[in-house]
A and B are shown apart, each in its own frame.
Chain A
Amino acid sequence: MALLEVEGLVKHFVAQRSLLGRALAHVKAVDGVSFSLEAGKTLALVGESGCGKSTVSRLVLRLIEPDAGMIRFDGRNLLALDAGTLRAFRREAQIIFQDPYASLNPRMTVGQILTEPLALHDLVPPVRRAERVAELLRLVGLEPRLARRYPHEFSGGQRQRIAIARALAVEPKLIICDEPVSALDVSIRSQILNLLRELQDRLGLAYIFVSHDLAVVKHIADHVAVMNLGQIVETAEADALFAAPRHPYSRALLSAIPLPQPKAKRTTVLLEGEIPSALNPPAGCRFHTRCPFVIERCRNEAPALLADHTGHATACHRTAELPSADAILPAAGGFSPVLAKLVAAFSQKTEGSSPAGVGIQYAASATK
């Protein structure tokens, strides 16, 4: 049985009210989204600004209330939970945000930040909490003695580790990662991605990974759902989607990512125009204003998300007629032979040093 099942999720925000408070315009942030997620797996929600991916992640945690739809977590109907049982549920599902500079309280020490969830859910008796905090810090590759420091003494990557430790404190089954590496530098990004994967293997966590970066998603996801203007337009196993993207929007996204490979031979699908507003999404297929394959039917009739026998689902009238996506896909084997050897040597030499060594010197010098 799936850990999380979401069906027909809808959330419309009121964008404009009349003088008397009547709603005049709605932003259709999420409009009929369904998916499921197995324990221990990663589902990536992918799309551009305003596609509704972050709203979905907040709805799943009931940080905001949906207008319609069903969310089942571990067999329980989440929308039927009262305040008390909802708090208990929050033990099982946690979230990590994009900006580690804004998501940690600057007035609390790291120890206090990590103790709070333990106390709130009464998970560990007070005398053993310090020990548990030390354990959590080690788990994310930080030294336990850093518990007395304040967030401002840490770098962005270290703060993201602290945010991860805080999420892990309650031993959740699901962690929602909302653009967890987007604000980080490239070399720090890889540390956090490696850590998230390692923790998943060790603790059997399920992730919903919200991201706009398909290269990152390819690295971490088992399953991918591509969203456009509040709806899922394509969903499949990650390998299947990256090997043969079907929806014209998925293809455009994939081909738009610059490859770190000069003179890479592939065609970029350049979309015309701007992303339409979710306030007034186009009629018919919501992608039709930017779609290179648009036909008359697309302007009038919204396509349904239809799955084939492998579970690869696409919401496009022309799925069967579209040309092969081979031309836009990057050729395999990105590393030159020399670079592959150098990267291997680079990684091998650094492997010996413990992850706990990351950046501790800096944290120490910052307090002098």
Chain B
Amino acid sequence: MSASPLIEIKDLRIRFHGDDGRITHAVDSVDLSVANGATLGLVGESGCGKSVTSLAIMGLLPKQSAEISGAIRFDGFDLLTTPDQTLRDLRGNRLAMIFQEPMTSLNPSFTIGDQIIETILRHRGGSRRSARDRAIELLRRVHIPSPERRIDDYPHKLSGGMRQRVMIAMALACDPRLLIADEPTTALDVTLQAQILELMRELKAASGAAIILITHDLGVVAEVCDEVAVMYAGEIVERAPVDELFSAPQHPYTVGLLGSIPRLDHRAEQLATIEGMVPNMAQPPGGCRFAARCPFVLDACTRVPPPLVEVSVGHLSRCIRAPLELLVS
């Protein structure tokens, strides 16, 4: 990893204030950084805070209900204190995002060309004519067949896989430095997923942009990420280079996740299960948030929240029992 990261998140905390006065601790003390050209996977199950983290980076959380603290440094800005006007200049330009649902993230009443051209004109200016040429070029880069004709299609004429390509083309319109992809292939069939993942790899190699890939699918992580952060109940519980995470995980939650997925390359009579449920985030537990479900739990785990510590070079774990190898040797 290079010396100065492209984006650096320090002690990010996000609380939501509900209408009923309840406060939900969505994200707690998250530290992350991504270097230029690297791909970070942000992994976890529903409600772990991975999507909320990405929305905070984009400045898309509702100001009335979300209380955010910490710092998100990107390209000389602290995104949390950047005025809205500047943020609007960054979004779609140097910062771009792809969402899960390609069916709902395009405006049905404009052609795909209009939507890509709008982005280009907003950030780059120039003539509509040249923006249109650029849009056609972008559609070609994401392998949409006959882009000169497709550019005038409305979204409903495109299949799910095609729409996701259009979303990617739009995100790439202004050569972003950072691309956030939130479950970009979850709504797609497997053969289309393979195409989109291949496309993302190809574009990353060509553009050198950094990618934060949010997913629940560990297979997708293994295929495209360089580094992984595993989130549980609003916290990062483990961070590691991708090879290490899969060969020697250092947090029991990661072990449980890896053991619970059916695999093509391994036959298990019984899959591992993680008993119990995620804690109620209105009153997160005092100690380790995974303690109630952890088979390796000690008394100390429930008393003090464990810090995220480096177990080996570049490999961090929020577990006082790490290194876990010692438990099984």
Contacts and interface: CB of A to CB of B under 8 A. Distances in A.
Interface stretch (B28-36, B52-60, B105-113, B262-270): B262-270
B296 interface: yes
A339 interface: yes
Given A212-B190, A332-B266, A345-B328, A361 B258 contact: no
Given A330-B264, A334-B265, A259 B219 contact: yes
A362 B280 contact: yes
Contact of A252 (B191, B242, B259, B329): B191
A181 to B, nearest CB: 9
A257 interface: yes
A142 to B, nearest CB: 13
A253 B190 contact: yes
B298 interface: no
Given A193-B262, A260-B261, A270 B195 contact: yes
A16 interface: no
A353 B274 CA distance: 11
A333 B266 contact: yes
Interface residues of B, number: 61
Contacts of A264: 222, 265
Interface string B297-326: 000000000000000000000000000110
B259 A347 contact: yes
A121 B17 CA distance: 49
A338 interface: yes
Given A48-B190, A350-B273, A186 B45 contact: yes
Contacts of A271: 191, 194-195
Interface stretch (B68-76, B125-133, B244-252): B244-252
Nearest to A359: B277
Interface string A236-269: 0000001000000000111111111111100010
Contacts of B261: 186, 189-190, 215, 260
Contact of A339 (B193, B220, B246): B246
Contacts of B65: none
Given A187-B257, A190-B272, A346-B255, A215 B249 contact: no
A321 interface: no
A358 to B, nearest CB: 6
A112 interface: no
26 contacts: A186-B216, A187-B45, A193-B262, A194-B273, A215-B219, A216-B262, A218-B267, A219-B271, A255-B194, A256-B193, A258-B219, A260-B263, A274-B161, A275-B189, A275-B191, A290-B191, A330-B265, A332-B265, A338-B247, A341-B329, A343-B272, A345-B295, A346-B295, A350-B274, A358-B277, A362-B280
Interface of A: 48-49, 155, 185-187, 189-191, 193-194, 212-216, 218-220, 242, 252-264, 268, 270-271, 273-275, 290, 330-336, 338-339, 341-350, 353, 357-359, 361-362, 365
Given A186-B218, A193-B262, A346-B295, 17 more contacts: A190-B260, A216-B262, A218-B264, A259-B219, A259-B223, A260-B221, A262-B223, A331-B265, A332-B265, A333-B265, A336-B248, A338-B328, A342-B259, A344-B328, A348-B295, A349-B295, A361-B276
